[in-house]
Amino acid sequence: MTTMMNFQVNLQGIIDLLSNHLYSDPGIFIRELLQNGVDAITARKQLGHAFDARVDVEIFSNHTLSFQDNGCGLTESEIEQFLARIGSTTKKDNLDSADDFIGQFGVGLLSCFVVSDEIVLITRSAMEGDSLEWRGKPDGTFTIKKLKKEVAIGTTVYIKAKPEYEEYFEFWRVQELLEKFGQYLAVPIGLTEERFKRRINESVPPWQMDKAAALAYLEEATYSKPMDIIPLHSAVGGIQGVAYILPYPVSLQEEKKHRVYLKNMLLSDKMNNILPSWAFFVNGIMNTDSLKPTASRESFQENDLFYTVRDELGENIKQYLLALADRDPALFKRIILVHYASIKAMAVEDDDLYRLFIPYLSFETSYGELDMATIAQSHTAISLAATLDEFRQIARVAKAQNEMVINGGYVHDFELVRKVSSVMEQVTVTVLDILAFSSRFEQLSVAEQREVQPFLDLSDQLLQGFRCRSLVRWFEPADLSVLYNTNQTLNFFKLTEASEAEANPLFGSLVHVVKHELYEEPYARLCYNFNNPIVRKAIASGDPKVQKVCIELFYTQALLMGNHTMSAEEMKLMNESLLYFMNLGLHQAGDMHG
DSSP-assigned letters across all residues of 414-447: HHHHHTGGGT-TT-EEEE--GGGGGGGSBPPPHH
Residue 2, pLDDT score: 61
* Angle subtended by helix axes 544-561 and 446-463, to nearest 10: 80
Residue 511, pLDDT score: 47
Q: Which residues are registered as beta bridge partners of 159?
A: 65, 119
Span 417-433, mean pLDDT?
Answer: 94
- Domain residue spans of the chain: 2-199, 206-331, 361-432, 443-487+522-593
Report whether the peptide linkage leading into residue 533 is cis, meaning its omega lies within 30 degrees of zero: no
**Residue stretches of the annotated binding site for ATP:** 32, 36, 69, 155
For 2-199, the fitting CATH number among 3.30.565.10, 3.40.50.150, 1.20.1630.10, 3.40.30.10 is: 3.30.565.10
Residue 588, pLDDT score: 76
- Pairing between strand 258-262 and 362-365? unpaired
pLDDT of residue 19 exceeding 80: no
Strand order in the sheet with 258-262: 228-234, 239-245, 282-288, 258-262, 265-271
pLDDT of residue 552 exceeding 90: yes
Confidence of residue 329 (pLDDT cuts 50, 70, 90): very high
Q: How far is CA 260 from CA 110, 284, 324, in A?
A: 24, 8, 25
Q: Helices marked H in 379-518 — which ranges?
A: 388-400, 413-418, 446-463, 488-502, 505-517
> pLDDT tens digits for 72-103?
999 988 887 776 554 444 443 444 444 555 54
Span 311-332, mean pLDDT?
Answer: 93
Among residues of the chain, what percentage have pLDDT more than 90?
A: 59
> pLDDT tens digits for 378-408?
999 999 999 888 898 888 899 988 999 999 9
Return the minimum-mean-pLDDT range out of 125-134, 292-301, 415-424, 456-465.
Answer: 292-301
Which of 584 and 247 is assigned the larger pLDDT?
A: 247
Span 351-367, mean pLDDT?
Answer: 93
3-state SS assignment for residue 157 = strand
Residue 390, pLDDT score: 87
State how far the Cα of 32 lies from the Cα of 535, in Å rounded to an integer: 84
Residue 96, pLDDT score: 40
Residue 83, pLDDT score: 64
pLDDT of residue 417 exceeding 60: yes
- Average pLDDT in the chain: 85
Span 442-448, mean pLDDT?
Answer: 93
Residue 280, pLDDT score: 86
Which of 153 and 581 is assigned the larger pLDDT?
A: 153
Residue pair 525/468 in contact by the 8 Å Cβ criterion? yes
> pLDDT tens digits for 263-303?
999 998 989 999 998 888 999 999 999 998 887 777 899 99
For 443-487+522-593, the fitting CATH number among 3.40.1190.20, 3.40.50.300, 1.20.120.790, 3.40.1160.10 is: 1.20.120.790
DSSP string for residues in 106-153: THHHHGGGGTEEEEEEEEE-SSS--EEEEEE-TTSEEEEEE-SS---S
3-state SS assignment for residue 553 = helix
> pLDDT tens digits for 451-474?
999 999 999 999 998 989 999 999
Residue 381 CB burial class (10 angstroms; 0-12, 13-18, ≥19): exposed
Span 360-370, mean pLDDT?
Answer: 95
Residue 455, pLDDT score: 95
Residue 374, pLDDT score: 96
Residue 113, pLDDT score: 85
State how far the Cα of 475 lies from the Cα of 483, in Å rounded to an integer: 10
Return the minimum-mean-pLDDT range out of 360-364, 426-430, 522-526, 551-555.
Answer: 522-526
Specify the CATH number of the domain 361-432.
3.40.50
Residue 3, pLDDT score: 59
Residue 95, pLDDT score: 42
For 206-331, the fitting CATH number among 3.40.50.10190, 2.60.40.420, 3.30.230.80, 3.20.20.70 is: 3.30.230.80
Q: Which amino acid is at 83?
A: L
> pLDDT tens digits for 178-202?
999 999 999 999 999 988 999 999 8
- Pairing between strand 428-431 and 482-485? unpaired
Confidence of residue 593 (pLDDT cuts 50, 70, 90): low
How many CB atoms neighbour CB 332 within 10 A?
20
Span 332-361, mean pLDDT?
Answer: 90
Q: Helices marked H in 289-350 — which ranges?
A: 304-327, 329-338, 340-349
By C-alpha distance, which of 206, 150, 252, 200 is closest to 37? 200
3-state SS assignment for residue 187 = coil
For the chain, the distance separating the N- and C-terminal CA atoms, rounded to the nearest angstrom, is 130
pLDDT of residue 42 exceeding 60: yes
Which of 456 and 487 is assigned the larger pLDDT?
A: 456
Span 359-366, mean pLDDT?
Answer: 95
**Residue stretches of the annotated binding site:** 32, 36, 69, 155
How many CB atoms neighbour CB 330 within 10 A?
7
